[in-house]
Amino acid sequence: MVLSVDLGQSGTRIRMGDNNITSPRGKLSGEDPLTSLRIVFTSIEKLSAETVALSCTGFNGVVPEPYNYLTLCAEFFSAKHVALIDDGLAGYFGALQGINGVVLTLGGGVVSVGGKDGAFAHRDGLGSTFGDEGGGFWLGKLAITRALAFRQGRGIDDGLLEVFAKQVAAYDELEIKNAADAATLAIKSAKLLLDAADAKIQSAIKIRNEGARLLADTVIATWLGTGGSLSQSPQIAIHGGPSGNRNYALAIESFVSQAIPNAKFIEALGDNLDGATWIGENMLNDSPPLLRWAHEI
């Protein structure tokens, strides 16, 4: 039986059979995934599994040499085999189960993976400093930035400052304004930004629409990266965090459809944890740079 792990920016989920564990501890900004996993594994109940499948944020589309992860999983789970997976690939197999198309996964960050006839493409997943455009951190950061600007009289407040009063107060209480706690505050503010856009606050709508446009660009680039064309009919699934806001998802779909008019938008069949489990059971060979295996020697 495969023990599957999904390490994200907002938390970690672990599954083995019917046993599901959720930890609020995810990968912090600037933290190595190996360090994050050790902290999570230290905090959970004792488990044992021969094979562990690790879906991790933070690899930016290039999974590192996996043997340190095997050592970690051997220590905590007595594992003999470890699949180290870019979270985008896990999301792709979880959502589309190998169908030709693109899976856009949104959380604190953004990763998009497409597949076409066995060829894969990975886009964004570049981290919050230089990428992850349209994801939770991006949305929340821009919302708080705009609210702080309104507080200083830079621009005419259209109601956003009142909506974000608690977030602005939380910003004021941060000892360090650009550390991990600030990133967490931004990620947790994404839903409020999308709610504000639904409430017709124009500054929020502007941020939401720009995020949707950028995410559509990411989806389009992913499909083209697989060797697909704009005239084809890829299946596209958008899931995770911010995509739970229907208006955000619809805006992304609208921008994608302008470039790929025959695109078919479907509900994700599963998530990263489902994808990690499938890979751990069925995709037993390396598929660099998105999947690498390590085995006990």
* Cα torsion through 64, 35, 132, 257, rounded to 10: 70
Q: Within 10 Å of residue 145's Cβ, how many Cβ atoms? A: 13
Looking at the fold, whether 11 and 25 belong to one and the same domain comes out as: yes
Looking at the fold, whether 56 and 107 belong to one and the same domain comes out as: no
Amino acid at 267: E
Looking at the fold, whether 255 and 133 belong to one and the same domain comes out as: yes
Buried b / exposed e across 233-251, counting CB within 10 Å, b at 16+?
ebebbbbbbbbebeebbeb
Token representation of residue 286: 């390396």
Q: Within 10 Å of residue 275's Cβ, how many Cβ atoms? A: 32
- Contact (CB, 8 A) for 132 and 125: yes
The SS3 of residue 37 is helix
Looking at the fold, whether 157 and 281 belong to one and the same domain comes out as: no
Taking the C-alpha atoms of residue 118 and residue 103, their distance in angstroms, rounded to an integer, is 15
Range(s) of the domain holding residue 11: 2-90+271-295
pLDDT in tens, the chain (297 residues): 999 999 988 799 999 999 999 999 999 878 999 999 999 999 999 999 999 999 998 898 899 999 999 999 999 999 999 999 998 899 899 999 889 999 998 988 899 999 999 889 999 988 888 999 999 999 999 999 999 999 999 999 999 999 999 999 999 999 999 888 999 999 999 999 999 999 999 999 999 999 999 999 999 999 999 999 999 999 999 988 899 999 999 999 999 999 999 999 999 999 999 999 999 999 999 998 999 999 998
Looking at the fold, whether 255 and 287 belong to one and the same domain comes out as: no
Looking at the fold, whether 207 and 196 belong to one and the same domain comes out as: yes
Taking the C-alpha atoms of residue 110 and residue 137, their distance in angstroms, rounded to an integer, is 9
pTM (2 decimals)? 0.83
Looking at the fold, whether 224 and 288 belong to one and the same domain comes out as: no
Looking at the fold, whether 175 and 60 belong to one and the same domain comes out as: no
Token representation of residue 273: 């944890």
Q: How many helices (H) and strands (E) does the chain have?
A: 11, 11
Looking at the fold, whether 120 and 183 belong to one and the same domain comes out as: yes
Looking at the fold, whether 27 and 164 belong to one and the same domain comes out as: no
Q: What is the CATH number of the domain that holds 49?
A: 3.30.420.40
Domain count, the chain: 2
Taking the C-alpha atoms of residue 159 and residue 258, their distance in angstroms, rounded to an integer, is 32
- Contact (CB, 8 A) for 168 and 218: no
Looking at the fold, whether 242 and 106 belong to one and the same domain comes out as: yes
Looking at the fold, whether 290 and 149 belong to one and the same domain comes out as: no
